[in-house]
Amino acid sequence: MLEHLLEGVALVFQPFAFALIVIGVCIGIVMGSIPGMTATMTVAVLVSFTFGMSPTEGMMLLLGIYGGALYAGSIPAILIRTPGTPSAAATIFDGFPLAKRGKAGNAIGIATVASFVGGATSVVLITVLAPQIAEVALAFGSPEYFALAFFGLTIIASVSGDSITKGMISGLLGMLIATVGLDPNMGYPRFTFGSEVLAAGVQFIAVMIGLFGLAEGLNRYREGIDAVDATQQVRGIAPSIDDLRSIRTVTLGSSVAGTLIGAIPGAGGDIAAFVTYNEAKRWVKDATPEFGDGNIRGVAAAESGNNASTAGALVPTLTLGIPGDSVTAILIGALMVHGIRPGPGLFDNEPGLVFSIFVGFFVVYVVILVAGLLGAHVWVRLINFPAKYIWPAIFVLCVVGSFALRGGLFDVWAMVGAGALGYVLRLDGYPLAPMVLGLILGPIAEQNLRRSLELSNGSWDIIYTSPIAVAILVLSVVSLVLPLLTEYYRTADA
């Protein structure tokens, strides 16, 4: 492990790779500071710029954007009570009251330090734990992979928002889109309508750019989001020693909890932030002022929790090939463009890449700490930047990025179609995250189920006689039934 870790360090600290981390963090902070610009959208739109890079260099840029955008969402949350990203929603509870008392700089400083501690702690934890999980997963065969993919698909129920039915429909649409092209086992064309271009399938990245770039832009344009007023002067950003002592326990505890929550596929930073914030309210007995009235420990808990979830989301992504959240789903697509499929074999086949991701993500949070404390006065001004100038640029990048996939207009039209579909679905309250899970996990489940049945001459016993597959399928049933029961009782109580 030490040898691979040193290899990762060497890859990350190559001048170009390190420069990409800094550039990525700056882009992420710029976009995350503007309300409405999410980390998912930014990564999806810019992923095409990594195609000409090595896998390590591409990951450094995308991880920098990911971490920077997630951190920067706290800045508008504190100053104007509008989270830059969904993960920063819980930061409002104590960050905005602090800003109203003239302590916006103090709140931003605490958020910066907590983001660093959360991200860095989670990277250390996954560096130790992820290889062990991958070692266990190496024992997986086709039946186990089918069960694992099926488990991932059942998570659709838990990421469906207010309507499980709409989430299921969205997931099925994703699986349907993934079937376009040649049958993976027999090579027969499916839904190609005689088109040679469709025989190669619909590019996953083009669909992602459409869903999270174009559709989000259309939705924001419809809502009329524009510049906001944030005229408060920000002073005293660097936290005092007393402040650091005050948040120490809460920050470390929330970092560990956020990592564990992030490792649950589909959980995401927003869930991690709310859970760690609520737990901090329970842990802290001498809260003065009260949580919700401007307690710096509330800001620290929310920010350390949501930033810890980012590295936690890499655990299922790298070890099992199941995306931890929507951003890691895009990272899977970026790796697949380079011919690299995440999963347990990744640790044997590409150990240098895996550990460069771990080391690089740690460096990302060091850069965030420095950029956040030294450049906060600059980032704060971005809140007033008119969004009407950003969205046209986003649309252009969507077109350029999708065209760059294969150098043809088909992927551009696929992106436009996915964007239009995503926009219509959003209007009717359909979540887009389940569609992403269907796109990624549907083909994995299909291929491994058919391969299992071929190995057993059509007998399902090959699945039922595998203890690992049975255990995963039991978890799948629980994962599917619990949200259904929750929705049933919630409806009954209403």
Per-residue pLDDT reduced to its tens digit, 240-284: 888 888 888 889 999 998 888 888 776 667 778 878 888 887 777
Going by C-beta distance under 8 Å and a sequence separation of 6 or more, which residues neighbour residue 487? 164
Segment 117-140, tens digit of pLDDT: 999 999 999 888 887 777 776 677
Cβ-proximal residues to 30 (8 Å cutoff; 6+ apart), any chain: 72, 379, 382
Domain residue ranges of the chain, discontinuous segments joined by +: 2-493
Beta bridge partners of 189: 182
Phi, psi (5° rounding) for residue 226? -140, -160
Look at residue 459 and tell me whether its pLDDT is greater than 90.
no
d(CA 71, CA 30): 11
- pTM of the entire predicted model: 0.76
pLDDT band with cut points at 50, 70 and 90 for residue 225: low
Q: Is the pLDDT of residue 64 over 90?
A: yes
Which one, of 435, 443, 471, lies nearest residue 155 by Cα? 435
Instruction: Give the integer Cα–Cα distance in Å for 415 and 239.
Output: 45
CA-wise closest residue to 468 among 146, 189, 227, 224: 146
Instruction: Tell me the average pLDDT across 41-67.
Output: 89
Residue 228 confidence (pLDDT): 45
